[in-house]
A and B are shown apart, each in its own frame.
Chain A
Amino acid sequence: MKSTKRYEVYRTAIAIGIALLLGYVLILITVFPKGDMAFFDKLKSAIKDANDAFRTFLISPILKHRRGHWVFNLRGFIQWINESVPIMITGLAVSLIFTAKHFNIGAEGQLFLGAAIATGAAIYFPSIPIITPIVVILIASLVGAGWSAIPGYLKSKWNASEVVTSLMLNYVALYMGLFIIKTFLRDPNAGQLVSLKFSDSATLFLLNTRYRWHSGILIALGMSFALWFVMKKTTWGYKVRLIGNNKHFAYHSGINTQKTFFQVHLLSGAIAGTAGIIELLGYYGRFVWLYSPGYGWDGIIIATLARNNPIYVPIAALFLSYIRVGAKTMGRYTNIPPEMVSILQATIILLVTAEAFLSQMRQKAIEKEARSTEEAIAGGDINE
């Protein structure tokens, strides 16, 4: 497995490299000056501005410039970690469902409805330290599982396309969630549509109060490890991976594929359901969304980057939130729209998922591996 694995790493690195290069070109185009200078002068000034902007983009989440020195940027760092939390969790949910080769893209709706209903608990559940946030998160998780069970049931029982049903349910969840907040939980004293504030003990423990670094990251990392353990060390996880590789083989070796598929949808929904409420409990302290925050779609990018392996999901999520925070900071100092990042994201997804991209390299990796196995078997007799 070793050299093919290394090939996957190279391929991801090349995809990210190409995306960053594209990012640089986009920045260059944006800062290209108008007016009547000689083209060469324009280019020179554009390159200088682009270099500055690109540097902000690349390092601002950890370093900032102050009085001629580069110092640690605590605020940027905390923003980076905080923003990675919800997408890490949806990344886990999506990686699980993708491992079974199902395309339930309903994480968006699951997290939205989960957060909306759990908001009720976060406001009204009696204040007991530690217990309250756990109860609130569990409620969100149950809602997510229930919402994911609908496409899961339709797919595993009657083979209805889970792509379309889960997409449709995202809209239903959005409207239902907003309806719940608007009708039952709205804060009448707030200027815009937000829920009442959560009770004090419902909020998550803060690692840093000044910039609200919340402990959601610990929960997300814990979930990553737990899911990794389930997928790699338990029979159930083995079943899921087997089904993903070849469901017919799995079926004929006696695995109840319908049941396992349904369980995968349930667990994935249970994970995704917590993504929204954890961010609300940790950072905002109330329900603040007027439309879907898009974390479900981010989860797809992350699962793709992590090759559906739960242990790589945190790395992928940290990477994605890093370039986003970088782009936002860059957007504050320059006029480059942070939405530029989605162009980079799309490029990365396309290149990482393109099986045949760099397939020559893969071929070589496989040949090399085969040769080394052969050598190992023959005791090093074969040279070529």
Chain B
Amino acid sequence: MNSVLSSILSWDFIASGIRVTTPILLAALGALIAELAGTPNIALEGTMLFSAFVGVIISGFTQSLWLSVLGALLTGIIMSSILAYFSLKLKTDIIMAAIALNIFASGGTIYALYLLTGDKGSSASLKSLVLPNVDIPILKDIPILGNILSGHHILTYVAIILVFLVQYMLYRTPLGLRIRSVGESPDAARSVGISVFKTQYIALIMSGMLASLGGIFLSMGYVSWFARDMTSGRGFIALAAQALGGTSAYGVALGSLLFGFSEALSFSLQFLNIPYEVTQSMPFIITVGALAFYAWNKAKNKKNRDI
């Protein structure tokens, strides 16, 4: 028991928790922006997957990190544009359009992978690059603090900065106000001259770009290959983390941390003979519980029954 406790309280555990949290957090921030604009983005999963794929392919063929990050972001923009075009212009239900995109990404990446590398399982034959870890100069020499704060992946730092940026954008800028008002009541927003289409389009684009950063973290963060369906539901987990965290970016960050750390915990607890399945399903049960609690609380406060 002691050894398990010490393994949980170790730097390795914290580092692995942060590592698992990063892609979830990036996508969850995307989920937040889209949710506030009134256009829930279920296509995060597919967007992450396709960006992870494009990042690896471009880095494999060009050996350029900048190009691959750019390509992945562009993929996010294109996926979101398709989602936006179909849901906002052609009036497809946004959930249906997103499901279509997820199906497209899951099969499309395998098809393109085969076309480009001749392999249907993974891109291991392709020599691809990895985005680096970052040591923060002075900070890393401070004894305990340095261990916690320095040496993480560059995208982890980007994610942390983005938490504040997204919060600032949503609650301190005119764009954020427009996004929130469009999500709250499109008709009211339209009546004061806000273009609902343009605002929701921008929100979806941002959401897609955040998801693609999460995607390349998976394929270019610690490993240098793409494997079929490698996101394995992280886009959906991000939705859960957002639902758990509410409407502020800080809340969403906490929600993502819960998912990240309970996944890290499930690795540690395996040594205690606690089955993998139990610990893996824990965060999902917590989310359903939390959603139920929120909804119950809201219904109680509202007092009038929703139909």
Contact = CB atoms under 8 A, between A and B. Distances in A.
Interface residues of A, number: 52
A212 B128 CA distance: 46
Interface stretch (A37-45, A219-227, A278-286, A346-354): A346-354
Contacts, number: 145
A150 interface: yes
Given A165-B292, A171-B280, A354-B86, 5 more contacts: A161-B291, A163-B40, A247-B307, A342-B104, A350-B97
A175 B90 contact: no
Residue among A160, A176, A183 having the largest count of chain B Cβ atoms under 10 Å: A160
A103 B86 CA distance: 18
B100 A355 contact: no
A157 interface: yes
Given A172-B285, A341-B107, A346-B104, A167 B236 contact: yes
Interface residues of B, number: 49
A236 interface: no
Contacts of B292: 154, 158, 160, 165
Contacts of A171: 233, 236, 280-281, 284
Interface in A211-232: none
Contact of A354 (B90, B277, B288): B90
Interface string A267-304: 00000000000000000000000000000010011001
A129 interface: no
A195 to B, nearest CB: 15
B66 interface: no
Interface in A142-199: 150, 154, 157-161, 163-165, 167-169, 171-172, 175-176, 178-179, 182-183
Contacts of B114: 30, 335, 337
Contact of B96 (A157, A161, A165, A353): A353
A343 B42 contact: no
Nearest to B99: A300
8 closest A-B pairs by CB? A342-B107, A160-B295, A346-B104, A355-B91, A158-B295, A354-B90, A349-B100, A175-B277
Nearest to A154: B292
A154 B291 CA distance: 9
Given A154-B292, A160-B295, A161-B291, A103 B95 contact: yes
A301 B101 CA distance: 12
A378 interface: no
B110 interface: yes
A159 B291 contact: no
Contacts of A168: 236, 240, 284-285, 287-288, 291
Interface in A315-353: 335, 337, 339-343, 345-347, 349-350, 353
Interface string B268-307: 0000000101101100110110011011101100000111
A165 B295 CA distance: 11
A158 to B, nearest CB: 4
A154 B120 contact: no
Residue among B96, B239, B298 having the largest count of chain A Cβ atoms under 10 Å: B96
B90 A176 contact: no
B239 A164 contact: yes
A160 B296 CA distance: 8
B246 interface: no
B98 to A, nearest CB: 10
A297 B103 contact: yes
Contacts of A159: 295, 298-299, 306
